[in-house]
Amino acid sequence: MRERPLSMIQDDLVEYEKAMERMAVLVEERKRDALPDTLWLLSHPAVYTVGKRTLTEHLPDPSHEIPVMPTGRGGQLTYHGPGQLVGYLIVKLGEREGIVDYVREVELRLVAALAAMGVGAERRDTPPGSELLTGVWTTGSKRKIVSIGMRQSLGVTSHGFALNVDGDLTPWQWAVACGMPDVDMTSLSREGSAAGMEAARAEVARAFEATGAVLS
């Protein structure tokens, strides 16, 4: 991986819709070079987000009363909630760099962050004809610990990743995550890591060479 230092914004809990509004502004600023490449770290209140290919039968039972929001990113259904670290990446890609290349880089940087927190992890290549295996899996338990869904517009990326730290994993069981009915979602705490949210923020920032902000 080449060096790619990022500026960092940190927030605590931000409503999903408000985050999307702010992200759209950040993307436009990056297109004008009014903003450097940026990693925005935050968490969301409980919400499911769905991509354009999400099947109706993969949606959660509405009796759980967790909102379901459409999103412009790639990927399928995912869950966000307290105890999960979300990272939005607003990055201008190189002339010969595509979004698939950058997603692979994101996966590898997160593998490095997880290793620093005592969890062995790996990215996976997608076999032909299979559901996309974008994200990061643990090497020991073979569970999925990071979801990734991104897009690019005029060479600038948006959306990003969600790393399960120490939140309640039950809502993952109420829907079909990532288009994979058999996926077993996990977290740092479930895998035995003592790293909490503060440590996760620090290691993720280090893995992405991100500096410059404090928690607001």
Which residues carry out catalysis? 178
d(CA 113, CA 104) in angstroms, rounded, equals 14
Q: Which residues contact 38 (CB under 8 A, 6 or more apart)?
A: 6, 7, 8, 9, 26, 30, 89, 90, 91
Report yes or no: 106 and 207 within 8 Å, Cβ to Cβ: no
Report yes or no: 83 and 187 within 8 Å, Cβ to Cβ: yes
**What is the phi/psi pair of residue 142, to 5°?**
65, 30
